[in-house]
């Protein structure tokens, strides 16, 4: 065995193979650099014609093609897909970084009310970097409201939900009629109604589904709810698209119905789980030693909630009567399962389970694929 390990012929062949691998790796890096140069050229064309960064159909076609190519070459198609999704993600981030400097209407005046908050500062950086003239307005600046509103092209209200309507009614009389008035709160019916009532000009409701720590707007979602004069508001949405965001149009009513589930119910359910394990004094760190990756992932989302600002989540969860009614329905639904638990009624559980599985339909298969990907990544990390 020792002679085989030290065979000079094998050692020479091994070194030669390693050199070939190094040469192949160098070619890969060189080709990636060449690809990046082409991406830069694409950015120039997109800037010129105001084209969006993210082209989902193009990306999925490319992934499918590369999977087939990889399979034909004897490579694992899942590996090829993961590799190319990483490459495409980097490409979009690169494009987004360059497009953030692209202003759809450079030189226009943007007023951010509540601009000294975290989201206000975030959008100040976005608009300033794209060549807009940005003004910030805080709670102590109302004596200068007329001066700050002069010649404004876009006013964004970025204040707590409970202060949004009041702020809109105080601000609107000072805005030029041609200015687009927008808000970025997580509910839309009440703010859009307040804006259309208080302002005679263009009105646009927006809800960015990301926070101020977001490093890139690549594929970040902005829900857009129409208020008045959609054509006059379009340049604002075009600007977010140029930055890499995905615009999801919705009526204010639809937005609030869906976000009551996506935000309020989801956060409250997470809160309730965290509250329960705290009251039971469950040894969190010890459970992780016994946990599957999916438990670690779920507990990570719970811990993530409690690592953030309680007041912000209270504002989101209890933002409207509609959301509070939904939470009451959720609690009643939980209570309805008490009898099943007390009796250990397995058959009832199975029946309910199957009914719910049928309702989820094809999404369950998608959920398996997506969660499996996340679990694999978690295993790699920890």
pLDDT for the residue 12: 82
CB-based contact 104:242 (threshold 8 Å): yes
**What does residue 154 show for φ and ψ, rounded to 5 degrees?**
-145, 125
- Write down which residue in 223, 250, 277 finishes a domain: 250
Say if residue 118 is in the same domain as residue 246: yes
In the predicted structure, residue 96 carries a pLDDT above the cut 70:
no
| pLDDT bucket at 90, cuts 50 / 70 / 90 | confident
pLDDT at 375: 81
Mean pLDDT, the chain, rounded, equals 90
Poorest-pLDDT segment among 58-67, 86-95, 283-292? 86-95
Q: What is the pLDDT of residues 195-204, one digit of tens each?
A: 999 999 999 9
Please give the model's pTM, rounded to 2 decimal places: 0.74
What range does the domain containing 155 cover?
Answer: 109-250
More confident site: 59 or 55 = 59
Which pLDDT does position 268 carry in this prediction? Answer: 97
- Give the CATH number of the domain where residue 328 resides: 1.10.3660.10
Do residue 88 and residue 220 come from a single domain? no
Question: What was the pLDDT predicted at 365?
Answer: 87
104 within a domain of the structure (yes/no): no
Q: How confident is the model at residue 99 (pLDDT cuts 50, 70, 90)?
A: low
**Contact (Cβ atoms closer than 8 angstroms) between residue 225 and residue 205:** yes
For residues 171 and 64, membership in a common domain is answered with no
Question: Which has more pLDDT, 244 or 360?
Answer: 360
Q: Work out the pLDDT band at 1, boundaries 50, 70, 90.
A: very low
Asked whether residue 191 is assigned to any structural domain, the reply reads yes
Burial class of residue 223, CB neighbours in 10 A (0-12, 13-18, 19+): buried
Please check whether residues 121 and 245 belong to one and the same domain. Answer: yes
Query: Are both 122 and 213 inside the same structural domain?
Result: yes
Residues 71 and 200 in one domain: no
On whether both 129 and 211 belong to a single domain, the answer is: yes
Per-residue model confidence as pLDDT tens digits over 321-373: 999 999 999 999 999 999 999 999 999 999 999 999 999 998 888 888 888 87
Domain limit, last residue, from 68, 99, 130: 99
13 inside domain: yes
């Amino acid at each position: 065995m020792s002679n085989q390990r030290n065979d000079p012929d094998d050692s020479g062949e091994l070194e030669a193979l390693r050199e070939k691998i190094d040469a192949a790796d160098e070619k890969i890096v060189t080709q990636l650099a060449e690809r990046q140069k082409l991406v830069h050229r694409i950015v120039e064309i997109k800037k010129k014609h105001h084209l969006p960064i993210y082209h989902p159909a193009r990306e999925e076609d490319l992934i499918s093609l590369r999977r087939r190519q990889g399979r034909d070459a004897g490579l694992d198609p899942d590996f090829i897909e993961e590799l190319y999704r990483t490459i495409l993600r980097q490409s979009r981030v690169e494009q987004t970084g360059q497009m953030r400097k692209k202003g759809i209407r450079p030189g226009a005046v943007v007023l951010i009310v509540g601009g000294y908050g975290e989201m206000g500062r975030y959008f100040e950086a976005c608009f300033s970097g794209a060549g807009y003239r940005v003004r910030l307005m805080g709670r102590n600046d109302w004596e200068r409201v007329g001066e700050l509103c002069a010649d404004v092209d876009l006013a964004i209200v970025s204040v707590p939900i409970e202060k949004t309507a009041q702020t809109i009614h105080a601000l609107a009389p000072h805005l030029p009629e041609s200015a687009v008035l927008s808000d970025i709160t997580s509910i839309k019916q009440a703010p859009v109604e307040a804006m259309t009532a208080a302002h005679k000009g263009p009105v646009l409701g927006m809800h960015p589904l990301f926070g101020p720590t977001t490093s890139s707007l690549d594929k970040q979602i902005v829900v857009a709810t129409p208020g008045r004069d959609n054509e006059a508001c379009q340049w604002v949405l075009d600007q977010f698209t140029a930055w890499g965001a995905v615009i999801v149009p919705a009526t204010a009513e639809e937005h609030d119905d869906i976000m009551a589930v996506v935000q309020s119910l989801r956060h409250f359910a997470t809160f309730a789980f965290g509250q329960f394990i705290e009251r039971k004094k469950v040894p969190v760190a010890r459970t992780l030693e016994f946990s599957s990756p999916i438990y670690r992932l779920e507990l990570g989302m719970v811990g993530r909630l409690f690592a953030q600002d309680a007041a912000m989540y209270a504002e989101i969860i209890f933002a409207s009567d509609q959301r509070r009614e939904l939470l009451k329905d959720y609690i009643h639904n939980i209570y309805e399962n008490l009898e099943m638990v007390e009796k250990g009624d397995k058959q009832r559980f199975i029946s309910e389970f199957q009914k719910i599985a049928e309702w989820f339909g094809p999404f369950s298969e998608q959920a398996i694929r997506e969660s499996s990907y996340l679990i694999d990544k978690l295993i790699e990390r920890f």
